Amino acid sequence: MNFNYLMEKNTRSRKCRQYPGQECYWQPVGDGRATNGGYVCVMMCCKHCDRREDVFLPEAQYKIQEKLISKEIGYV
């Protein structure tokens, strides 16, 4: 499943290194880590070119997405 909607606009629109005409296909690769200020950090990786980015989600938004993220990384 593509998680581009969780990425910031400038990160989401980056072109993939593997497929130059397309945007990266972002997927979570690890469970979230709590950070200061009520945010959760989730590591995302492009399915094709292995580019990695951290996404900082507000805790409430992470709770909404938590089940999908866990399913994608294989915890459910």
Average pLDDT, integer, range 49-64: 93
Summarize pLDDT for 1-40 with one digit per residue, the tens: 889 999 998 888 889 999 989 999 999 998 889 988 999 9
Q: What predicted TM-score, i.e. pTM, was given to this entire model?
A: 0.81
Q: Distance (Å, rounded) from C-alpha 36 to C-alpha 76?
A: 27
CA distances from 1 to 13, 37, 70, 73 (A): 17, 28, 12, 11
